[in-house]
Amino acid sequence: MYTQGLDQQGNKGEDPEAVESAELLAAFQARIDAEAKIEAKDWMPEAYRKTLVRQISQHAHSEIIGMQPEGNWLTRAPNLRRKAILLAKVQDEAGHGLYLYSAGETLGTSRDQMVAELLRGKAKYSSIFNYPTLTWADIGAIGWLVDSAAIMNQIPLCRCSYGPYARAMVRICKEESFHQRQGFEIMLFLSRGNDAQKEMAQDALNRWWWPSLMMFGPGDENSKHSAQSMAWKIKRFSNDELRQKFVDVTVPQAEFLGLRIPDDDLEIDEKTGHYNFGEIDWQEFYDVLAGNGACNRQRLAMRQKAHDDGSWVREAARAYATKHAAKKAA
Residues that bind other proteins in the complex, under the rule CB under 8 A: 1-4, 6, 39, 41-43, 88, 91-92, 95, 98-99, 102-103, 105, 110-112, 167-168, 175, 311, 314-315, 317-318, 320-321, 324-325
Q: Cβ 175 to other proteins, closest distance in Å?
A: 8
Residue of 63, 128, 126, 130 lying closest to 93 (CA atoms): 63
Task: Find the shortest distance in angstroms from Cβ 191 to other proteins.
Answer: 29
CB of 149 to other proteins, least distance (A): 23
Query: What is the C-alpha separation between 293 and 242, in angstroms, rounded?
Result: 24
Q: Which residues contact 214 (CB under 8 A, 6 or more apart)?
A: 127, 128, 280, 282, 284, 285
275/254 Cα distance (integer angstroms): 13
Give the residue with the Cβ less far from other proteins, 97 or 217.
97
Q: Within a 13 Å sphere around the CA of 157, how many CA atoms are in the beta-carbon half? A: 22
| Nearest partner of 236 among 224, 226, 246, judged by Cα | 226
In Å, how far are 6, 29, 96, 152, 235 from 166, measured between CA atoms?
A: 20, 18, 13, 15, 11
3 versus 62: smaller Cβ distance to other proteins: 3
CA atoms within 13 A on the CB side of 181: 7
CB of 289 to other proteins, least distance (A): 29
Query: Which CB sits closer to other proteins, 167 or 245?
Result: 167
Distance (Å, whole) CA 93 – CA 205: 22
Of the two residues 97 and 211, which places its CB atom closer to other proteins in the complex? 97
Radius of gyration of the chain (CA): 22
Q: Which is nearer to other proteins, 105 or 138 (CB)?
A: 105
Q: What are the b/e assignments for 173-204, b being 16+ CB within 10 Å?
A: eebbeebbebbbebbbebbeeeeeebebbbbb
Question: Least CB distance from residue 298 to other proteins, whole Å?
Answer: 24
Nearer to other proteins, 6 or 74 (CB): 6
Residue 301 has a CB neighbour count (10 Å cut-off) of 11
- Classified as helix, coil or strand, 276 is strand
Least Å from the CB of residue 11 to other proteins: 16
Distance in Å, CB of 100 to other proteins, minimum:
10
To the nearest whole angstrom, how small is the minimum distance from the Cβ of residue 214 to other proteins? 30
Q: Which is nearer to other proteins, 50 or 167 (CB)?
A: 167
Q: Which residue, 99 or 277, has its beta carbon nearer to other proteins?
A: 99
